[in-house]
Structure 1
Amino acid sequence: MKKIIFLFSVFVFGLGISANAAWYEGRPNSFAPLVKKVKAAVVNISTTKKVKRPANRFPRSPFGEMDPFEEFRKFFENQVPREEEQHSLGTGFIINKDGDILTNNHVVGEADEILVKLFDGRKFKASVVGRDERSDMAVIKIKSKEDLPFATLGNSDLMEPGDWVVAVGNPFGFEQTVTVGVVSAKGRVIQDSRSPFAKFIQTDASINPGNSGGPLFNAGGEVIGINTMIYGMGTGIGFAIPINLAKEAVPQLISKGSVTRGWLGVQIQQMTPELAESYGLKQEQGALIGGVLPGSPADQSGLKRGDIVLEYDGKKVEEPFDLSAYVASSAVGKTIKLKVLRQGKEQTIEAKVGKRPEEGAIREEKPQTPKEQATSDALGLSVRDITPEDAKKLNLPSTHTGVIVDQVQPGSSAEDHDVREGDLLLEINGVGINSAEDYVREAKKLSKGSLARLLIGRGSMTIYVAFRI
């Protein structure tokens, strides 16, 4: 028996050695051949921006107006503002033989002058062909008498954590710097990033200021990302925009100088464990529709508040970000199919994608309501009926019915889940609340440990909040 166990242990140990040996033999001995293949397409970008500064100010004389030089001081201070130049560095890569170069918008977006230096030392003045702030991408162009070397764009969807990657760029002005690492993670959503529709590739290949806009290559020498940001200095955490997102935007940037995005007109929110439970879901999945804008494509298609979007044109919606990204990348006018969960039943709805309005066209306002003393209940809320004066302040129809949250009890579950004073309370567990009487009736049905799902109106938005009492 001992002999069998020993032989089995040797066999397993041998498998481990075999797997490690296979990995060891498959690793690249050097990335030099890859770098030689791709570096000619990588360019250094230096920009100049002219800014106006206030004229120099001089200290006032202790003698005030009696000082004979006071008029001279005023004269020089009132001169026109002085003009200064700001310089910055970045990276880009040529994407076709005609000299179109892909980079980050934050590298060239505000520049008055753009200078591109090629690998062989040649320098060209560049012009902006198109740029898009919301994806942080831009295309600039240089003119050359001969065809230029260009990078091959790969498929970022094929990359997996652990795959080798190579970054080539201009960090701190050190030209053609090569760093190597792996894909640390995929699908990173970075809040408040310059590219809100991107799920970033995370890498430990060293990225520093000046690398922005540069390529992230796979082991085959194809660009799979645009190096864009870092998480602190020296952390080994960098992020790149997936090249598949760029491949969707670049044709529009070249042809018309901007990117047109799709739009449905829904307000969506993240599923929480409590919300998922209230809808009978076993896991937090999909995008919950908190509101549908009147007259929007979503409204015209029949989508309703409370629907949970599970799929978009056959692609699974794991979280709200997925839906936003899918819609934004869809062609305006395209008819798509949405799989939604409505009142516990799945159904398919067709919608025609519209054009996303300009930023600021739809704004959110925070309502202001007076506070009055009242007694909280099981929900930890005190509410009152909406008056005509309230409706006017909140830009609601004078006939609008409902209740306003007057107070939120400190330490209550409602406070913990961000229910606020001034919110409109529209539903409790799917039952419409049109008056304080309705509210009292529904609140009495709840007790300690009950699951409550509230529909809240806040500014121009409606959102769902769920919690246990």
Structure 2
Amino acid sequence: MVLILSQSLMAHARGAPETFADLAEAISPSVVNITTSTTVAGRTGPQGIVPEGSPFEDFFREFQDRQGPGDRQPRRSSALGSGFVISEDGFIVTNNHVIEGADEIEIEFFEGMTLPAQLIGTDPNTDIALLKVEADKPLKFVSFGDSDKSRVGDWVMAMGNPLGQGFSVSAGIVSARNRALSGTYDDYIQTDAAINRGNSGGPLFNMDGEVIGVNTAILSPNGGSIGIGFSMASNVVTKVVDQLKEFGETRRGWLGVRIQDVTPDVAEALGLDKAEGALVSDVPDGPAKDGGMLAGDVIVSFDGVDVVDTRQLVRVVANTQVGKTVRVVVNREGKTETLKITLGRREEAEGAVPASMSGDDLEQEAPSSLEIMGLTLSPLTEDLRGELQLDESTKGLAVVGVDETTEAFEKGLRQGDVITEASQSQVLTLDDLQARIDEAREAGRKSILLLVRRGGDPRFVALTLDESE
């Protein structure tokens, strides 16, 4: 009796349901199957099969001729996916890859009704699409839940159209949170609820019947479910859906900086207590530059939210309203400063080219090279600029050699790189660099922070100072 009672209490504490049937019955009418139809151009010849002029060209042409003219006509291709209704007036959420390139989209409801759908908008960055159907009566729909409240170990249920088999339910738990696959704005819930091809775009429910994720991808060596599925978190999806509904497109906030994570060695070089925040490596023309931000600043807070790393900052900025003026707290040379920055729109700035490095035109006579920290460095001369294909605005020290046994090589420095700053101060000569190294040693630093540019792209690298140098 004691053992049975103990097991019962444990099951209740874990929230283990006796059955998923009641939940499945309540929310099934809001889950839909999606069929898309696309026109595919017919084959016109052996092009792409064998090279032009190949002795096999005539053979393949004869083979295609025997297939008949029908095979050279445009044909229809179909694909299957899943989705769910989010409003009684017919808005439906699915994955962008489910409907991408489709000429026609047809929605099949749980009760058997089918309706054509209109594409409202898509967001390839989060793989979300918003559709709309016109129905004679209000449709049953489901609501979004707060994905941030989901905990690893919580029960979840997935619904959709796996492998084209029709409406299907699978259950599991939240295996992990905040997963990133390949996208800038990724925030996936990992689950072991079975997700297969055809489940894409379907909902992932919590036990309250709220959608906490949109089933998007699986990790599998054979294309089938092995218990590693990914659902885009609802707190990302809702913001995208709201914008698609209002504008037909996304409108993400844009700060206008290049950033990198603050690693422990970078934090030590900057004299920071913790390896947190986002280190600004470049500030092209844009909102941040207008607001006074500088390369070398460490962003520690954005609009009242503490910044942990670059991935978090990108998501927070993107989710902030375009045109909003926000307070950005930065650590600049050991002191805290608050900047007011009015955000631009990310989509309008996608093609922006970073501002070139500006600097003093001072040219001095100096040693031709210096070997330090595994690097062989040389001041930029006209000949060296031409050899490295650098423009006149580039100032700094050229890396003309890297010892492959050193930390510098391990951290990615290569011949042709240009060091433009050391300890957040511009370096134009070898003496400038030596002075910054001496200052770092006198301050008790174990490493020095270098700003390195390669092909115009900047990044900070912290190198350990050798006391023998």
- 8 A contact 1:340–1:348 mirrored in 2: yes
- 8 A contact 1:378–1:446 mirrored in 2: no
Deviation of 1:321 (Å): 0.7
CA distance in 2, matches of 1:33, 1:85: 40
CA separation of 1:53 and 1:446: change in aligned 2, threshold 3 A: farther
2:9 counterpart (22, 45, 49): 22
CA separation of 1:389 and 1:45: change in aligned 2, threshold 3 A: farther
CA separation of 1:75 and 1:278: change in aligned 2, threshold 3 A: closer
CA distance in 2, matches of 1:398, 1:27: 67
- In the alignment, is residue 200 of structure 1 matched against residue 188 of structure 2? yes
Paired residues for 1:347-358 under 5 Å: 347-358=337-348
1:427 counterpart (418, 421, 424): 421
CA distance in 2, matches of 1:388, 1:328: 42
Q: Classify the secondary structure of the residue corresponding to 1:338.
A: strand
- What are the superposed Cα offsets for residues 169-200 of structure 1, whole Å, 9 maximum, x if unpaired? 1110121211111111111122x24xx21321
- 8 A contact 1:376–1:408 mirrored in 2: no
Q: Classify the secondary structure of the residue corresponding to 2:341.
A: strand
Paired residues for 1:388-399 under 5 Å: 388=382, 391=385, 398=392
Equivalent position amino acid for 2:10 in 1: W
- In the alignment, is residue 93 of structure 1 matched against residue 89 of structure 2? no
Paired residues for 1:305-320 under 5 Å: 305-320=295-310
TM, length-normalised to structure 2: 0.84
CA distance in 1, matches of 2:306, 2:393: 41
CA distance in 2, matches of 1:337, 1:50: 50
Deviation of 1:342 (Å): 1.4
1:335 counterpart (315, 325, 333): 325
Match of 1:322 in 2: 312
CA separation of 1:206 and 1:443: change in aligned 2, threshold 3 A: same
Unaligned runs of at least 5 residues, structure 2: 356-367
Count residues in correspondence: 434
Identity of matched residues, %: 35
Match of 2:197 in 1: 209
TM, length-normalised to structure 1: 0.84
Deviation of 1:376 (Å): 6.8
1:124 counterpart (93, 98, 115): 115
Match of 1:381 in 2: 375
- 8 A contact 1:376–1:409 mirrored in 2: no
CA distance in 2, matches of 1:19, 1:379: 63
Deviation of 1:428 (Å): 2.2
Unaligned runs of at least 5 residues, structure 1: 1-13, 366-373
- In the alignment, is residue 460 of structure 1 matched against residue 448 of structure 2? no
Deviation of 1:48 (Å): 1.9
RMSD, matched Cα: 3.2
CA separation of 1:313 and 1:399: change in aligned 2, threshold 3 A: closer
Paired residues for 1:7-406 under 5 Å: 21-25=8-12, 26-57=15-46, 82-190=73-181, 192-193=182-183, 196-232=184-220, 233-294=224-285, 296-358=286-348, 361-362=351-352, 377-388=371-382, 391=385, 398=392, 400-406=394-400
CA separation of 1:116 and 1:55: change in aligned 2, threshold 3 A: same
Deviation of 1:252 (Å): 1.8
- What are the superposed Cα offsets for residues 264-319 of structure 1, whole Å, 9 maximum, x if unpaired? 1100101212112112233321111111112x100011111111111211112111
- What are the superposed Cα offsets for residues 20-64 of structure 1, whole Å, 9 maximum, x if unpaired? 54232353111110011101000001112222254243999xxx9
1:451 counterpart (447, 450, 460): 447
- 8 A contact 2:16–2:155 mirrored in 1: no
Match of 1:418 in 2: 412
Equivalent position amino acid for 2:171 in 1: V
Q: Classify the secondary structure of the residue corresponding to 2:258.
A: strand
CA separation of 1:252 and 1:85: change in aligned 2, threshold 3 A: same
- What are the superposed Cα offsets for residues 213-254 of structure 1, whole Å, 9 maximum, x if unpaired? 110001000111111111114331111111111211212212
- What are the superposed Cα offsets for residues 58-82 of structure 1, whole Å, 9 maximum, x if unpaired? 999xxx99xxx99x969969x9964
- 8 A contact 1:95–1:150 mirrored in 2: yes
